[in-house]
Structure 1
């Protein structure tokens, strides 16, 4: 039985390197929430098309895939602090570019997608190095708690970021959101300057061989393969965010403030799950926990699509957010603790594809289906697709179901 314990704060105490990484990443995550809201809202205002809001996801998926994998190679071959800072600086430049195009009133979906893709490439290139630094900055028994704290900051940004972005957009338009994003990225850059240098393991492989070695490591390890497939099922099949503008229009009045509520509702559940995550991060059955949470995610999203009340939709999204948080924490623990240190960056890059690029593919799926059916039905289908896929993964990956990690206390 999983005990409900408050989130473990001990990784922040006595570990200044991790504390600096956590603070810098928290600012970066807040900026990303402003970015996600502003691009989605600006595209909807320009086109009023769920297909085009879905196209935002497809456009972001390619740079996230390519540069996320490339960033995994660099995380195992470059000095990680320098890589993180370089990627962060590029993100600041493109955030300012997005602010400029919005302020100038250039209503060009093509320009918006191009700038958004460039920014996504920068943030994706640095993400594997950020994740790979967590076990380098913490003792092994604190890694699970460090992952939970990282997800707590993500959920806090998701909770406050979209709601705040909705207010900013209502007052100063999307240009204000992009400017706030650039400020958050600059604060992250300043905080990350104090990180210690962490020379990566030297593998001696060429870059293509290095990348393939990461995929081979996942293929040879059934629990790793199963945990990433579970995340792919939950995101590529069921991600709902591209549908939020259309649902906001249908179930509320379409205002930017209520659109922010859709995005924040997922974070409300995520925060609740994170606060009570102490027992989850210490429990040894992380594989079973991830599978169960992924099933609940799919069922909650299917329910959100079928109900007609806007407030009931938000309630279902709260449940989905809690399930998503539990699944992500379990996945993170399995990946961090199941691979060799010299392979960690490349395996984490594959995890990033599952955790970041796949949701954008899922958003395109949702938007494309909503172009030919009501958005609620598209959402319900996605949730049911996820449930069916997760059941199939549990049947074909029994070692993931039985997996016992070594993070229990």
Structure 2
């Protein structure tokens, strides 16, 4: 089997070996086999904790300035369109220039913007628009960095280790979203937002260690000049990539009809009780499920029919969403809670378990979808397709929030997850059945 040497002294097979035989726990082979991947993964995990701290701290600080939850929500709203645009633009950059350089420049911009937040806080700026502006720049830089980083991974690892790498990414993400917000709460309460932002500035420097040590990674194959034409070519490529295209479509279906997070505040206030604590518990359930399936992901690397694995994982996600809707329906029929201070513990526990299963199944689907994309997309096109992936995983949940909010206004709190779970199962099975190439996708012969 031919190999291609890298500047870092590592060699990565161009074609996959047989699926590795692994145990139940997460496969750590990528960390051992590729020091470059290990440094990139570790640096991103540490820096990500700081990024999650900043997200929480910005929200707390803006609420402290305005006493308005709408003002807090505007942080995400202002950043949404630039994030979608630069998901595509960042992918184009990753397919045109040295990916190490693109990642390094994006990391520098993200670091400077984080320092800018700290400077605003230390200067006691008491208006919100500078925070919106700097946070938007930070989000855009982080989007470009994330898109480029994912396009880099297949150059650091053999294809058969990409599922394990995706699972390790899930573990680090679980640590980020668990430790980061908790640490932010402690620091904001204890020493203030100024030191919280400053801590992120320090933690983000670990990202540079992982990126700076990478070899030069020029795109391989037919490289086009940067510009709108390059982005359009990437979108056109999806016409000839039915497997990648279908992985995007089934994910959009799942996120549109199976995203109940917009319901959590009302569920905590009207049905299950507990208020903000219930919102936190249900949100944590999704993260815990993702973390558990990442830790016990060892067997996933041996799965060959990854199209069917995506279908099955989304089906489990749908059934968990349906279960959540049934819990809400049962609680509605039994009268809900008398006040927010009361808690229906049996219903809350069941709802939490549904969210754990949903988060775990969604993570398994994500591992296989990411692996399919990275393994089958040509290297010269990988950044742009990764950019489309970023748009899908960013925009899909927002569409899901809209569906949940609109359907609840027309029906009841239990209706969006209950009906949505049923729709996901029906639509995904029909889509896969009518696209036999996706159902037959083989990890040993990755075809886009």
Match status 1:21 vs 2:40: yes
Considering Cα pairs closer than 8 Å and 6+ residues apart, tell me whether 1 or 2 has the greater RCO. 1
- 1:33 pairs, out of 49, 52, 58, with 52
Residue correspondence of structure 1 range 106-121 to structure 2 within 5 A: 106=126, 108=128, 112-121=131-140
State the match for 1:359 in structure 2: 397
* TM-score scaled by length of structure 1: 0.84
Match status 1:334 vs 2:334: no
Alpha carbons of structure 1 residues 223 and 59: separation in structure 2 relative to 1, 3 Å = same
| Max Rg structure | 2
- 1:222 pairs, out of 242, 248, 251, with 242
Residue correspondence of structure 1 range 229-308 to structure 2 within 5 A: 229-248=249-268, 251=272, 253-254=274-275, 260-305=280-325, 306-307=327-328, 308=331
Q: Structure 1: 5+ residue runs without aligned partners?
A: none
Shifted more, 38-47 versus 350-359: the winner is 38-47
Distance between the aligned counterparts of 2:361 and 2:185, measured in 1?
25
Quick check: 2:257–2:416 contact (8 Å CA) kept in 1?
Answer: no
Alpha carbons of structure 1 residues 171 and 354: separation in structure 2 relative to 1, 3 Å = same
- 2:103 pairs, out of 79, 84, 104, with 84
Q: Deviations over 1:46-89 (max 9, x none)?
A: 5666x777665544331221111111111111111121122122
Shifted more, 166-175 versus 218-227: the winner is 166-175
Residue correspondence of structure 1 range 159-238 to structure 2 within 5 A: 159-171=178-190, 178-201=197-220, 203-206=222-225, 207-238=227-258
Quick check: 1:75–1:132 contact (8 Å CA) kept in 2?
Answer: yes
Quick check: 1:44–1:245 contact (8 Å CA) kept in 2?
Answer: no
Shift of 1:44: 7.1
SS in 1 for 2:444: coil
Distance between the aligned counterparts of 1:185 and 1:375, measured in 2?
40
Distance between the aligned counterparts of 1:168 and 1:248, measured in 2?
26
Q: Tell me the C-alpha RMSD between the 2 structures.
A: 3.4
- 1:61 pairs, out of 66, 70, 80, with 80
Quick check: 1:163–1:264 contact (8 Å CA) kept in 2?
Answer: no
Quick check: 2:151–2:383 contact (8 Å CA) kept in 1?
Answer: yes
Alpha carbons of structure 1 residues 290 and 61: separation in structure 2 relative to 1, 3 Å = farther
SS in 2 for 1:77: coil
Distance between the aligned counterparts of 1:17 and 1:149, measured in 2?
14
Shift of 1:132: 1.3
State the match for 2:166 in structure 1: 147
Shift of 1:32: 3.6
Shifted more, 345-354 versus 68-77: the winner is 345-354
Quick check: 2:255–2:400 contact (8 Å CA) kept in 1?
Answer: yes
Quick check: 2:174–2:287 contact (8 Å CA) kept in 1?
Answer: yes
Match status 1:402 vs 2:440: yes
Aligned residues: 404
Distance between the aligned counterparts of 2:268 and 2:82, measured in 1?
28
Q: Structure 2: 5+ residue runs without aligned partners?
A: 1-20, 332-346
Shift of 1:129: 1.5
Quick check: 2:278–2:348 contact (8 Å CA) kept in 1?
Answer: no
Distance between the aligned counterparts of 2:294 and 2:268, measured in 1?
27
Quick check: 2:25–2:298 contact (8 Å CA) kept in 1?
Answer: yes
Alpha carbons of structure 1 residues 87 and 228: separation in structure 2 relative to 1, 3 Å = same
Alpha carbons of structure 1 residues 311 and 217: separation in structure 2 relative to 1, 3 Å = same
Quick check: 1:90–1:122 contact (8 Å CA) kept in 2?
Answer: yes
Shift of 1:102: 6.2
Match status 1:312 vs 2:350: yes
SS in 2 for 1:223: helix
State the match for 2:154 in structure 1: 135
Alpha carbons of structure 1 residues 65 and 16: separation in structure 2 relative to 1, 3 Å = same
SS in 1 for 2:214: coil
